[in-house]
Structure 1
Amino acid sequence: MVQKMETLAKQQKGFLSMESARNDIGITISYWESLEAIQSWKQHSEHLLAQQKGKNQWYNWYHVRICKVEREYHFQLT
């Protein structure tokens, strides 16, 4: 389902990128151009079905955080 939602999200207006990590817990971060684009994605019919399936079958809890990225930088030891 993660791959299906990622493919679908990439087709949505306002989608910028997505990052995901899956081990003991699953974390997915998606980046969007605007709050309107986020709301549109949240209300997409296939995404709504995936959300419901997650609540009924996969997750005991989840946490959503909507943030504005003001700055980003990286460090990498070579």
Structure 2
Amino acid sequence: MADTDALIADTPEPPYYVVIFTSLRTEIDQGYDAMARKMVALAAEQPGFLGVESAREAVGITVSYWRDTNAIRDWKAHAEHLVAQELGREAWYQHYAVRVARVERAYSFGEA
């Protein structure tokens, strides 16, 4: 299982896939932080999950890494994730965008 506590995900050699979720929140919290933590933990249990990175200021950005598009599709359709998606549209997000891309090249500097 991937380490979801790391600030920078330790991903394998490419190719692999990335889902970039960019969002603007509403003022409503109503369990958002608890659900976000639950979704990261649940995603980490899914076959094909490689890691996650997340930051939130005025704009939230969560980047999740996946072995292939089948793993991404399965995660999107996961029953508990579907509930979180619906709550997000109903209460937590005023706007979001999802982008899926294939990582062809990756490199880093320093120790995580």
Q: Distance in 2 between matches of 1:60 and 1:23?
A: 15
In structure 2, the partner of 1:68 is 102
Q: Structure 1: which 5+ residue stretches go unaligned? A: none
Counterpart of 1:38, as a letter, is I
The alignment covers a number of residue pairs equal to: 76
Q: State the 1:2 CA deviation.
A: 1.3
Q: Distance in 2 between matches of 1:46 and 1:67?
A: 24
Per-residue CA deviations over 1:15-50 (Å, capped at 9, x if unaligned) read: 000000011111101000010000000000000000
Q: State the 1:75 CA deviation.
A: 4.5
Runs of 4+ with deviation above 4 angstroms: none
Q: Over the residues paired in the alignment, what is the CA RMSD in angstroms? A: 1.0
In structure 1, the partner of 2:60 is 26
What secondary structure, in the 3-state scheme, does the structure 1 residue paired with 2:70 have? helix
What secondary structure, in the 3-state scheme, does the structure 2 residue paired with 1:60 have? strand
Counterpart of 1:56, as a letter, is E
TM-score, reference length from structure 1: 0.92
Query: Higher helix share goes to which structure?
Result: 1
Q: Structure 2: which 5+ residue stretches go unaligned? A: 1-34
Q: Distance in 2 between matches of 1:34 and 1:74?
A: 22
TM-score, reference length from structure 2: 0.65
What secondary structure, in the 3-state scheme, does the structure 1 residue paired with 2:86 have? helix
